[in-house]
Structure 1
Amino acid sequence: MHTALLGLILGAGMAAAQGIGPDDYIPTDPDQARIGQLLFYDKILSGNRNISCGTCHHHDHAGGDGLSLGIGEGGVGVGPERTAGTGADAIRKRIPRNAPSLWNLGHNSIDILFHDGRLTVSDIYGNGFDSPAEEWLPEGLDSLVAAQALFPMTAQFEMMGNLGENDIVGAVHNRIDRGWPIIAKRVRTVPEYGQMFVQAFDHVAEPGDVTIVEIGNSLGAFIISEWQSYDSPYDKWLTGTPLPEDAERGRQLFFNNRCASCHAGPLFTDQSFHAIGLPAFGPGRTRRWDQISRDVGRMAETNLLVDAYKFRTPSLRNVALTAPYGHNGAYPTLAGIIRHHAIPGDTSWTPDMANLPDVPWLTAVDFAIREDGAEMARQAAAIELRPISLSDDDIADLVAFLNALTGETALTRPMGRPRNVPSGLPVD
Structure 2
Amino acid sequence: MKKKLKLKQYAVLLLSGGALLFSFEAYAHSKNSHSRMLPAAPENSDYYNNGMPNKHKVELGKLLFFDKVLSGNQNISCATCHHTLTDTGDGLSLPVGEGGQGLGMARHTGVGDNAIHARVPRNAPPVFNLGAREFSRMFYDGRLEVNPSHPSGFDSPAGDDLPMGLDNVLAAQAMFPVTSAEEMAGQVGENMQADAAAASDFPAVWEIIANRLRNIPEYVDLFKAAFPDEVTQASDITYVQAANAIAAFEADAWRFDNSPFLRFLKGDKKALSKSAKKGMKIFYSRKKANCASCHSGPFQTDHDFHAIAMPQIGPGKGDGFDGHSDFGRERVTGDTEDRFKFRTPTLSNIALIAPYGHDGAFNTLEAMVRHHLDPETSLLEYDRSQAVLPSRPDLDAIDFIVMDDQQRVDDIADANELDEKHLSEKQFGYLMDFLHALTDPAAVDLRMNTPMRVPSGLPVAD
Q: Is the 8 A contact 2:305 2:344 kept in 1?
A: yes
Cα deviation, residue 348, structure 1? 2.9
Structure 1 residue corresponding to 2:347, chosen from 309, 316, 341? 316
Q: Is the 8 A contact 2:262 2:298 kept in 1?
A: no
Cα deviation, residue 195, structure 1? 1.0
Corresponding position of 1:194: 220
Does the alignment pair 1:40 with 2:65? yes
Secondary structure of the corresponding residue to residue 145 of structure 2: strand
Deviations 1:283-325 (A, max 9, x none): 00115x9642011000011110010000000001100111111
Question: Which residues of 2 match residues 198-347 of structure 1 at below 5 A?
Answer: 198-201=224-227, 202-238=229-265, 239-242=267-270, 243-257=272-286, 258-286=290-318, 291-346=322-377, 347=380
The CA RMSD measured in Å over matched residues stands at 1.7
Structure 2 residue corresponding to 1:11, chosen from 7, 14, 32? 32
Cα deviation, residue 21, structure 1? 3.5
Corresponding position of 1:383: 416
Structure 1 residue corresponding to 2:42, chosen from 14, 20, 27? 20
- In the alignment, the residues of structure 1 paired with residue 401 and residue 195 of structure 2 have an alpha-carbon distance, to the nearest angstrom, of 31
Does the alignment pair 1:31 with 2:56? yes
Corresponding position of 1:118: 143
Percent of aligned pairs with the same amino acid: 43
| TM-score under structure 2 length normalisation | 0.88
- In the alignment, the residues of structure 2 paired with residue 38 and residue 291 of structure 1 have an alpha-carbon distance, to the nearest angstrom, of 40
Cα deviation, residue 408, structure 1? 1.7
Q: Is the 8 A contact 1:250 1:397 kept in 2?
A: yes
Q: Is the 8 A contact 1:47 1:161 kept in 2?
A: yes
Does the alignment pair 1:167 with 2:192? yes
Does the alignment pair 1:401 with 2:438? no
Cα deviation, residue 413, structure 1? 4.7
Secondary structure of the corresponding residue to residue 365 of structure 1: coil
Does the alignment pair 1:368 with 2:393? no
Corresponding position of 1:3: none
Q: Is the 8 A contact 1:124 1:130 kept in 2?
A: no
- In the alignment, the residues of structure 2 paired with residue 418 and residue 75 of structure 1 have an alpha-carbon distance, to the nearest angstrom, of 21
Secondary structure of the corresponding residue to residue 362 of structure 2: coil
Deviations 1:83-122 (A, max 9, x none): 1111011111111011011011110111111100000001
Structure 2 residue corresponding to 1:149, chosen from 171, 174, 184? 174
- In the alignment, the residues of structure 2 paired with residue 291 and residue 173 of structure 1 have an alpha-carbon distance, to the nearest angstrom, of 21
Q: Identify if the C-alpha distance between structure 1 residues 402 and 326 changes in structure 2 by more than 3 Å, giving closer, same or farther.
A: same
Does the alignment pair 1:58 with 2:83? yes
| TM-score under structure 1 length normalisation | 0.95
Q: Is the 8 A contact 2:145 2:156 kept in 1?
A: yes
Which blocks of at least 5 consecutive residues in structure 1 are unaligned? 1-6
The one-letter amino acid of 1:130's match is D
Q: Is the 8 A contact 2:71 2:77 kept in 1?
A: yes
Secondary structure of the corresponding residue to residue 325 of structure 1: coil
Cα deviation, residue 230, structure 1? 0.6
